[in-house]
Amino acid sequence: MAYLQDTKPLKLGDISRMRTGGEKIAMLTCYDSSFAAMLDRCGVDAVLVGDSLGNVIQGHATTLPVKIEDMVYHTECVFRGMERAFLIADMPFGSYQESREQAMRNAAKLMAAGAQMVKVEGGAYMAETVRFLVERGVPICAHIGLTPQSVHQLGGYRIQGKGDNAASAMLADALALEQAGAALMVIEMTPTETATRITNALKTTATIGIGAGPHCDGQVLVLYDMIGVFPGKRPRFVKNFIPDTGTIEGAVKAYVAEVKSGAFPAKEHGY
């Protein structure tokens, strides 16, 4: 299988071709210019400026306190450090739920900061907002399964899509979001069987798993988790790549290689 080796900046079409060509998409979160440059030279395909910065940078217990101004600032920082990787930025809690117009205003801020795509959490109820943004030139990454911005409503960080009814509901969400125009879709903390069913059902949308098994079109982890820096409890789906490599750069290269080969995630990282 021929993997993309070009060093020119990746565009959405390149990410789509990776999906259709069977090449796994390696994604990591990033929040600053120095790490962005390192991830770039290590071959990471897509970088997510995640609202997880609320946890790993700001020290909050959830992502809820993160503001759009925080996301714009960190997106600008990451953008300045990158040359090749595809750049995605999270829409933080409260920045897109009020109205489609509010979502467009804040998405425009992130795109102006350097993002090539923005990510929004939620199921079919977000489809109209997704369609509104896509029709106005904003590429969208959807996020289903465990959605951290809904942590209080979900009753904590719990597995989603477990059981036939929940799996069918999640599939319906995924199909509605694809129809609305979402080009990527993060599936978080979901049984492997459910995530595989969704991945196989989608025709154009690439799935990115995090605790969703090995059969998604790509994988994402929080950078601070996969290098063992974050002091909180390590989720089951995380692998610390530092012990086997000894350096952060080695860990990132190993992560990319294992995602590409299918070695990560292994069975013990799934549900």
Mean pLDDT of 15-35: 97
Average pLDDT, the chain: 95
Q: Residues of the chain with pLDDT > 90: what percent?
A: 92
Helix (H) or strand (E) holding 29: strand 25-29
pLDDT band at 151 (very low <50, low <70, confident <90, very high): confident
Count the residues in the chain. Answer: 271
Residue 225 has what pLDDT? 96
Domain containing 35 equals 12-269
Residue 270 has what pLDDT? 93
15: helix, strand or coil:
helix
Indicate the pTM of the whole model.
0.95
Is residue 1 situated within a structural domain? no
Rg of the chain, C-alpha, whole Å = 17
Handedness of CA 20, 4, 16, 223 (dihedral sign): positive
pLDDT score of 14 more than 80:
yes
- For the chain, count helices (H), then strands (E): 11, 8
pLDDT band at 146 (very low <50, low <70, confident <90, very high): very high
pLDDT band at 158 (very low <50, low <70, confident <90, very high): confident
pLDDT band at 153 (very low <50, low <70, confident <90, very high): confident
* Closest to 78 in 3D by CA, of 51, 113, 129, 124: 113
pLDDT score of 210 more than 70:
yes
Residue appearing with tokens 């369609």 = 131
pLDDT score of 5 more than 60:
no
Residues 98, 126: contact at Cβ < 8 Å?
no
Is residue 250 situated within a structural domain? yes
Is residue 232 situated within a structural domain? yes
Per-residue model confidence as pLDDT tens digits over 40-91:
999 999 999 999 999 999 999 999 999 999 999 999 999 999 999 999 999 9
CATH code: domain of residue 67:
3.20.20.60
Task: Give the number of domains in the chain.
Answer: 1
Tokens coding 234: 């390590």
Is residue 2 situated within a structural domain? no
Mean pLDDT of 197-207: 98
Cis peptide before 265 (omega within 30 of 0): yes
Residues 202, 185: contact at Cβ < 8 Å?
yes
Residue 6 has what pLDDT? 57
Per-residue model confidence as pLDDT tens digits over 222-256:
999 999 998 878 899 999 999 999 999 999 999 99
pLDDT score of 157 more than 60:
yes
Is residue 200 situated within a structural domain? yes
C-alpha pair distances (Å), 6 with each of 33, 34, 141, 144:
22, 22, 23, 31
The catalytic site residues sit at 188
Is residue 5 situated within a structural domain? no
Residue 2 has what pLDDT? 42
* Closest to 160 in 3D by CA, of 122, 129, 128, 204: 122
At 26, give phi and psi (nearest 5°): -100, 115
- Of 113-117, 229-233, 248-252, 262-266, where does mean pLDDT reach its minimum? 229-233
Mean pLDDT of 149-177: 91
Is residue 4 situated within a structural domain? no
pLDDT score of 1 more than 50:
no
Q: Residues of the chain with pLDDT > 70: what percent?
A: 98
Specify the higher pLDDT residue, 3 or 128.
128
Specify the higher pLDDT residue, 60 or 7.
60
